[in-house]
């Protein structure tokens, strides 16, 4: 599972970094823009009069101007583009997908064949809510055929009206020659109004209601020109929208406060027009709806390449198994290495623990011996006190043990005179007989290691 997630992440990152070429008609031009990760790499233009039979020559002109990519994304911004938001009763996912195939003509009330794409806005116990976009098949087919005849392929077609321009709530005004659509986006929420230049107060009323409904006091508004909107029409719509925003700001009260909508556009006639169009192009990777293509690409599996696809599948499975094995090996190797590093780090602690355990056992043995001697002779505690008092400097005792009736005392001394003073002090403190059993100088520390035997009393033979 972890390996598959990594593969998906790599594929997603590769898709994001892949160069895309987007084509769209605008203001008597056929434009092509090369993008990657939301940045523009290059752009080309060719004259286009809106007559679809001339698309082949337009695409050839783009190729002559420097267009290199053969697979294109089409940004659909024609006046014939239609959209609708509709609710459906509860049904299974398969039933919903089937209904999308035969519902197109009934939704848009037309007898002509249309290519309809959809995006699910919500699905709950009450049913489905979907956003539908449609374009006449003859129009979409003309674009695909024109590109095909020029040696190019349109692989995806996205309606311009379902491309968000920022993550948060915002307004978008899609401008056409005679009308416009004002859209409010908030996540999956999609509300719209059709506007005309004579509709005074309609835009401000729509904006005010949406902002009141969701408690918003300030929002941006983007302008997007569609195919039939030129610089002259954009100027008219910009003037109309500025008047509407003035009305919206004037409607505020002292309690509620005024509402502010900022136009995210440039007032320059030519530069602002193309900047508005380019903003949508650079955001096309976030498109929510795709229209079904008529020609599409060549099927992946055909009778001619069946054996080749089987061999490719076997290679892909072998590669996947190899990668899985490598990943498993690396994971096991890392775990083993981590365990070895942990054991190495704990080694000193284990040695210290063993030393502490040994010292504890020796201490318990000494305590047992002292208890035993105390039982035999109740003055052992006093003897240890006497031994501690007046202990010669340079002498350190490390062990006191019993050997039968005798007591063995082990330790170290700095000098031989210190050892002699210790044996004399032991005799004075405890009485009895003191015997030096062993003495050895440690070459590394320079100390004398000794063992002294003490006997309770000395037995003398009578002469």
Domain positions in the chain: 14-165+282-297, 166-263, 306-356, 374-455
Fold agreement between 14-165+282-297 and 166-263: yes
- pTM score of the predicted model: 0.60
β-strands 82-88, 127-136: how paired? Answer: antiparallel
Question: Rounded CA gap, 162 and 131, in Å?
Answer: 9
Question: Rounded CA gap, 36 and 354, in Å?
Answer: 63
Contacts 24+ apart (CB under 8 A), 91-97: 91/127, 91/128, 96/128
Question: Rounded CA gap, 372 and 321, in Å?
Answer: 71
CA angle in degrees (0–180, nearest 5) for 385-388-390 = 120
According to DSSP H, which parts of 221-305 are helical? Answer: 231-250, 269-282
Q: What is the CATH number of domain 374-455?
A: 3.30.1360.100
CB 89 within 8 A of CB 99: no
C-alpha distances out from residue 151 to 20, 35, 61, 95, 176, Å: 17, 21, 12, 38, 31
pLDDT in tens, the chain (463 residues): 465 556 656 655 555 567 889 999 988 899 999 988 778 888 999 999 888 889 999 999 999 999 988 899 999 999 899 888 888 898 888 888 888 877 777 788 778 888 889 888 888 888 998 889 999 999 999 999 999 999 999 999 999 999 999 889 999 999 999 999 999 999 888 889 999 999 999 999 999 999 999 988 899 999 999 999 988 999 999 999 999 999 988 876 544 567 889 988 866 556 678 888 888 898 888 888 889 888 755 555 555 566 777 888 889 889 998 898 898 888 888 888 888 888 888 788 878 888 888 888 877 887 777 677 666 665 667 777 778 887 888 888 888 888 877 888 899 998 888 888 888 888 888 888 888 889 888 888 888 899 999 887 755 444 4
Residue bearing tokens 């035997």: 453
Topology of 14-165+282-297 in CATH? Nucleotidyltransferase; domain 5 (3.30.420)
| DSSP label of 268 | -
Choosing among 3.90.1720, 3.30.420, 1.10.1660, 1.10.10, the CATH entry for 166-263 is 3.30.420
Partners of 453 in the beta sheet? 408, 435
């Amino acid at each position: 599972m972890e390996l598959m997630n990594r593969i998906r992440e790599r594929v997603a990152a590769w898709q994001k970094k892949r160069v895309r070429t987007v084509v769209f008609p605008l203001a008597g031009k056929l434009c092509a823009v090369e993008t990657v990760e939301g940045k523009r790499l290059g752009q080309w233009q060719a004259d286009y009069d809106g007559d679809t039979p001339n698309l082949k020559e337009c695409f050839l002109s783009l190729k002559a101007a420097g267009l290199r990519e053969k697979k294109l994304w089409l940004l659909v911004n024609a006046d014939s583009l239609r959209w609708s938001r509709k609710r459906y009763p509860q049904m299974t996912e398969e039933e919903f997908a089937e209904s999308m195939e035969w519902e197109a003509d009934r939704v848009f009330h037309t007898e002509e064949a249309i290519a309809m794409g959809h995006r699910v806005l919500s699905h709950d116990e009450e049913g489905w809510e979907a956003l539908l976009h449609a374009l006449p098949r003859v129009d979409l087919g003309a674009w695909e055929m024109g590109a095909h005849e020029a040696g190019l392929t349109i692989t995806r077609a996205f309606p311009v009206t379902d491309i968000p321009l920022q993550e948060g709530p915002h307004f978008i005004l899609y401008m056409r020659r005679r009308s416009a659509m004002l859209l409010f986006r908030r996540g999956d929420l999609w509300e719209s109004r059709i506007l005309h230049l004579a509709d005074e107060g309609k835009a401000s009323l729509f904006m005010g209601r949406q902002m009141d409904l969701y408690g918003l006091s300030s929002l941006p508004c983007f302008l997007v020109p569609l195919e039939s909107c030129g610089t002259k029409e954009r100027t008219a719509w910009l003037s109309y929208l500025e008047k509407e925003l003035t009305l919206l700001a004037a409607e505020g009260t002292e309690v509620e406060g005024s509402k502010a909508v900022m136009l995210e556009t440039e007032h320059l006639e030519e530069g602002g027009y193309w900047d508005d169009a380019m903003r949508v192009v650079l955001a096309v990777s976030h498109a929510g709806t795709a229209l079904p293509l008529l020609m599409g690409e060549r099927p992946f599996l055909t009778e001619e390449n069946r054996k080749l696809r089987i061999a490719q599948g076997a290679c892909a499975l072998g590669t996947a198994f190899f990668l899985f094995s490598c990943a498993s090996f690396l994971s096991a190797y890392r775990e083993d290495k981590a365990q070895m590093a942990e054991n190495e780090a704990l080694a000193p602690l284990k040695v210290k623990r063993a030393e502490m355990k040994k010292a504890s056992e020796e201490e318990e043995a000494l305590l047992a011996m002292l208890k035993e001697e105390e039982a035999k002779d109740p003055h052992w505690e006093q003897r240890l006190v006497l031994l501690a008092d007046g202990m010669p400097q340079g002498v350190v005792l490390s062990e006191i043990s019993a050997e039968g009736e005798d007591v063995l005392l082990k330790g170290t001394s700095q000098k031989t005179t210190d050892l002699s003073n210790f044996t004399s002090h032991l005799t004075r403190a405890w009485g009895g007989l003191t015997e030096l059993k062993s003495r050895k100088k440690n070459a590394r520390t320079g100390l004398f290691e000794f063992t002294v035997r003490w006997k309770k009393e000395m037995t003398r033979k009578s002469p």
